[in-house]
């Protein structure tokens, strides 16, 4: 139990193993640590939250045979019970508004409240995608302005605004590449992807019908350029490269790579998820990139939102711009703004490969991202990148004496610091440090990614953490590293203080129980 302060604290509700506890309470609650059953278990005879008039028997109709014979199996709760249920559950959660969220690669940034205020303006929040265009010109102008900023910041020719996430943007980019190849009458079907890439890259390439070939990483954590060049040939449609890469390092040879790929007739897709580290400093267009998605929920601070709604616009080079999907915001000769919804868009944009989504993207995210950009200005955005990189290097150099930093010798990192569990005693690993971090009151870092580093821990502090905040996080990480180095086996049982402890994540993923069927106590 060395190093674990258990005084006065109760461990998770489902185990008391290994932790000294106070009295067992009748309620299962521990003062402000509240336990909460499933909503179905709160069901009680004759309770409800609203009064609804009794429904008159529907007249016989063609649908009559489908009329419900039994009451729906919905739990009955009073309004205060419903409110408390969800509030109690929310308190068991962790969020960016509670503390640092150091997930590397995910860029969990603070969501400025100004963005929320702008997105809630009725002119943006209440518009409908099928409204006549004349009545939503302001909203179209937001899309246009954001598009202009993205084009300027990346030095690219055009942008497709409708994709709804990074991975969706990857698909958009690869479909543009496919359309460009079709237009050239070529059937190239290989996409090269470095082994350090995010899993979405090979998945997208395969989904778009390409064959994936892997490029190895150098011992310094960068793309092996010689190995890449060797693979170039008449069947290669393009490469997908992340810059800065997922080891947190800039790929200085991207321009050279792009020249070689172009000379071999291929296109360069850049995974722009890490644009946060270089925004305002580097324009990917200058490096020869043909397509790059931008995760507005990473670089431009819009909420990650539990899987949606997101936005992943894709900037495109001159070569790919004509194939961008519909719709498109343009200006008429008289300066009027409109959304082009049909093919044959005229000069430069006449060969759309189709459409990614029903409408024109996530208005709420566009508004937030534009608010973020305008409130920072060009100089502010540059400082975002500089501070993100400074914070990550502060973490890297504050911990590289207690944790192995696999590429620490490669010089400064970009916006994320990479460590590994090499050097920890046999049996103690990355997972134990990550779970211990929960007891320390932090969300764990990204673990076991990138795959090129065994036992990887990828920490991305982002630019909005203060030095004080970083010091607190570093102190916790040091403590955990020291406990692990001292062979403190109690880390295997962490987290002690979370509402739930080590869950069987594999079983939860493989055999999820999604339907309530009464008492489901299982062995
Ligand atoms: C987040 C991320 C993606 C995928 O983006 P989503 O918006 O989650 O679909 C792709 N590549 C990298 C490197 C990322 O960090």
Residue in 104, 172, 174, 271 to alter for ligand 1 test, most ligand atoms within 8 A of Cβ: 271
Q: Tell me what pLDDT residue 11 has.
A: 42
CA distances from 304 to 30, 307, 362, 389 (A): 31, 7, 13, 21
- Rounded Cα distance between 407 and 305, Å, is 32
Q: Over the stretch 460-472, which tens digit does the pLDDT of each residue have?
A: 999 999 999 999 9
Report CA dihedral (380, 384, 390, 391) to the nearest 10 degrees. 130
Looking at ligand 1, which atom is closest to the CA of residue 295? 7
Q: Over the stretch 237-250, which tens digit does the pLDDT of each residue have?
A: 999 999 999 999 99
> Who's near 359: CB < 8 A, 6+ residues apart?
129, 162, 327
Q: Over the stretch 350-405, which tens digit does the pLDDT of each residue have?
A: 688 999 998 888 999 999 999 999 999 999 999 999 999 999 999 999 999 999 99
Residue nearest (by alpha carbon) to ligand 1 atom 1: 106
- Rounded Cα distance between 388 and 107, Å, is 10
- Rounded Cα distance between 45 and 91, Å, is 27
Torsion angles phi and psi, residue 58, rounded to 5: -65, 145
Q: Tell me what pLDDT residue 381 has.
A: 97
Higher pLDDT, 262 or 305: 262
Whether a cis peptide bond, with omega within 30° of 0, leads into 309 is: yes
Q: Tell me what pLDDT residue 248 has.
A: 94
pLDDT band at 7 (very low <50, low <70, confident <90, very high): very low
What's the CATH class of domain 114-369?
alpha beta
pLDDT band at 5 (very low <50, low <70, confident <90, very high): very low
Rama region for 411: left / alpha / beta (φ>0; ψ in -120 to 50; rest): left
- Rounded Cα distance between 262 and 289, Å, is 10
Where does 379-510 sit in CATH, by number? 3.90.1150.10
Residue nearest (by alpha carbon) to ligand 1 atom 7: 166
Percent pLDDT > 90 in the chain is 75
- Ligand 1 centre distance from Cα of residue 460 (Å): 14
Q: Tell me what pLDDT residue 1 has.
A: 33
Higher pLDDT, 507 or 343: 507
Q: Tell me what pLDDT residue 51 has.
A: 84
Burial class (CB in 10 A: 0-12, 13-18, 19+), 517: exposed
Compute the mean pLDDT over every residue in the chain, rounded to the nearest whole number: 90
pLDDT at 515 over 90: no
Higher pLDDT, 291 or 513: 291
- Ligand 1 centre distance from Cα of residue 200 (Å): 7
Whether a cis peptide bond, with omega within 30° of 0, leads into 180 is: no
Cα-Cα-Cα-Cα dihedral sign, residues 206, 210, 212, 217: negative
CA distances from 165 to 272, 305, 308, 352, 392 (A): 12, 11, 8, 20, 25
Residue nearest (by alpha carbon) to ligand 1 atom 14: 273
Torsion angles phi and psi, residue 378, rounded to 5: -60, -45
pLDDT band at 407 (very low <50, low <70, confident <90, very high): very high
- Ligand 1 centre distance from Cα of residue 276 (Å): 12
Residue in 101, 102, 105, 292 to alter for ligand 1 test, most ligand atoms within 8 A of Cβ: 105
Tokens for 234, please give them. 């008449």
pLDDT band at 50 (very low <50, low <70, confident <90, very high): confident
Residue in 167, 202, 462 to alter for ligand 1 test, most ligand atoms within 8 A of Cβ: 167
Residue in 166, 193, 196, 277 to alter for ligand 1 test, most ligand atoms within 8 A of Cβ: 166
Looking at ligand 1, which atom is closest to the CA of residue 271? 11
Q: Tell me what pLDDT residue 6 has.
A: 37
Residue nearest (by alpha carbon) to ligand 1 atom 8: 166
pLDDT band at 420 (very low <50, low <70, confident <90, very high): very high
Euclidean distance between the first and final Cα of the chain, in Å? 29
Looking at ligand 1, which atom is closest to the CA of residue 167? 9
- Rounded Cα distance between 494 and 431, Å, is 10
- Ligand 1 centre distance from Cα of residue 130 (Å): 30
Looking at ligand 1, which atom is closest to the CA of residue 168? 9
Q: Over the stretch 180-196, which tens digit does the pLDDT of each residue have?
A: 999 999 999 999 999 98
- Indicate the angle between helix axes 363-399 and 137-154, nearest 10 degrees: 30
Cα-Cα-Cα-Cα dihedral sign, residues 320, 326, 332, 338: negative
Q: What is the value of pTM for the model shown? A: 0.90
Q: Which residues does ligand 1 sit against, CB inside 6 Å?
A: 105-106, 165-167, 198, 200, 242, 246, 271, 273, 295, 310, 312
Looking at ligand 1, which atom is closest to the CA of residue 298? 1
pLDDT band at 344 (very low <50, low <70, confident <90, very high): low
- Rounded Cα distance between 203 and 212, Å, is 9
Tokens for 147, please give them. 């598009």
CB 325 within 8 A of CB 356: yes
Every domain of the chain and the residues it spans: 24-44+76-90, 114-369, 379-510
Listed in order, strand segments (DSSP E) in 426-511 are: 446-447, 456-459
pLDDT at 45 over 80: no
pLDDT at 144 over 70: yes
Three-state SS at 346? coil
Three-state SS at 384? helix
Q: How far is CA 492 from the centre of its chain?
A: 28
Q: Tell me what pLDDT residue 15 has.
A: 47
Residue in 200, 311, 449 to alter for ligand 1 test, most ligand atoms within 8 A of Cβ: 200
Residue nearest (by alpha carbon) to ligand 1 atom 6: 166
Q: Over the stretch 456-513, which tens digit does the pLDDT of each residue have?
A: 999 999 999 999 999 999 999 999 999 999 999 999 999 999 988 988 989 999 999 8
- Rounded Cα distance between 431 and 66, Å, is 51
pLDDT band at 20 (very low <50, low <70, confident <90, very high): low
Q: How many CB atoms lie within 10 A of CB 435?
A: 21
CB 459 within 8 A of CB 101: no
- Ligand 1 centre distance from Cα of residue 179 (Å): 23
Three-state SS at 219? coil
pLDDT at 110 over 90: yes
Q: Tell me what pLDDT residue 461 has.
A: 97
Q: Tell me what pLDDT residue 521 has.
A: 53
- Ligand 1 centre distance from Cα of residue 298 (Å): 9
- Rounded Cα distance between 169 and 327, Å, is 15
Higher pLDDT, 438 or 308: 438
């Amino acid at each position: 139990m060395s190093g674990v302060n258990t005084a006065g604290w109760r461990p998770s509700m489902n185990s008391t193993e290994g932790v000294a506890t106070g009295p067992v309470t009748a309620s299962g609650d521990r003062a402000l640590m509240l336990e909460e059953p499933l909503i179905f278990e709160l069901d009680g005879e004759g309770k409800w939250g609203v009064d609804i008039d009794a429904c008159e028997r529907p007249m016989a109709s063609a649908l009559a045979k489908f009329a419900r014979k039994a009451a729906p199996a919905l739990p009955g709760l009073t309004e205060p019970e419903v409110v408390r249920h969800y509030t109690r559950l929310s308190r068991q959660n962790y969020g960016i508004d509670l503390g640092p969220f150091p997930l590397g690669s995910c860029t969990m940034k603070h969501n400025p409240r100004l963005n929320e205020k702008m997105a809630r303006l009725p002119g943006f929040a209440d518009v409908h995608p099928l409204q006549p265009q004349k009545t939503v010109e302001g909203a179209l102008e937001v899309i246009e302005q954001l598009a202009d900023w993205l084009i300027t910041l990346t030095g690219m020719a055009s942008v497709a605004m409708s994709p709804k996430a990074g991975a969706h943007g990857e698909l958009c980019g690869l479909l543009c590449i496919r359309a460009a190849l079709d237009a050239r009458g070529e059937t190239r079907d290989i996409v090269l992807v470095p082994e350090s890439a995010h899993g979405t890259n090979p998945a997208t390439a395969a989904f778009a019908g390409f064959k994936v070939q892997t490029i190895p990483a150098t011992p310094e954590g960068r793309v092996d350029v010689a190995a890449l060049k060797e693979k170039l040939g008449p069947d290669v449609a393009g490469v997908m490269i992340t810059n800065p890469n997922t080891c947190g390092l800039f790929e200085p040879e991207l321009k050279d790579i792009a020249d070689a790929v172009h000379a071999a007739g291929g296109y360069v897709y850049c995974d722009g998820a890490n644009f946060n580290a270089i925004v305002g400093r580097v324009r990917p267009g200058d490096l020869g990139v043909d397509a790059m998605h931008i995760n507005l929920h990473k670089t431009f601070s819009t909420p990650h939102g539990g899987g949606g709604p997101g936005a992943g616009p894709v900037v495109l080079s001159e070569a790919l711009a004509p194939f961008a999907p519909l719709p498109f915001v343009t200006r008429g000769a008289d300066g009027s703004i409109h959304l082009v919804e049909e093919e044959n868009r005229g000069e430069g944009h006449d060969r759309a490969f189709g459409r990614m989504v029903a409408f024109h993207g996530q208005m709420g995210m566009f508004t937030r991202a534009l608010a973020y950009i305008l409130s920072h200005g060009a100089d502010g955005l540059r400082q975002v990148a500089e501070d993100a990189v400074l914070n990550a290097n502060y973490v890297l150099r504050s911990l590289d004496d207690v944790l192995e930093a696999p590429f620490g010798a490669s010089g400064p990192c970009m916006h994320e610091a990479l460590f590994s569990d090499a050097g920890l005693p046999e049996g103690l690993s990355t997972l134990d440090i990550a779970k211990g971090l929960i007891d320390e009151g932090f969300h764990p870092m990204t673990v076991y990614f990138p795959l090129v580093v065994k036992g990887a821990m990828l920490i991305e502090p982002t630019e909005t953490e203060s030095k004080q905040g970083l010091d607190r996080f570093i102190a916790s990480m040091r403590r955990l590293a020291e406990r692990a180095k001292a062979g403190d086996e109690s880390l295997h049982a962490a987290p002690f203080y979370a509402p739930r402890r080590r869950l069987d994540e594999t079983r939860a993923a493989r055999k999820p129980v999604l339907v309530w069927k009464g008492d489901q106590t299982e062995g």
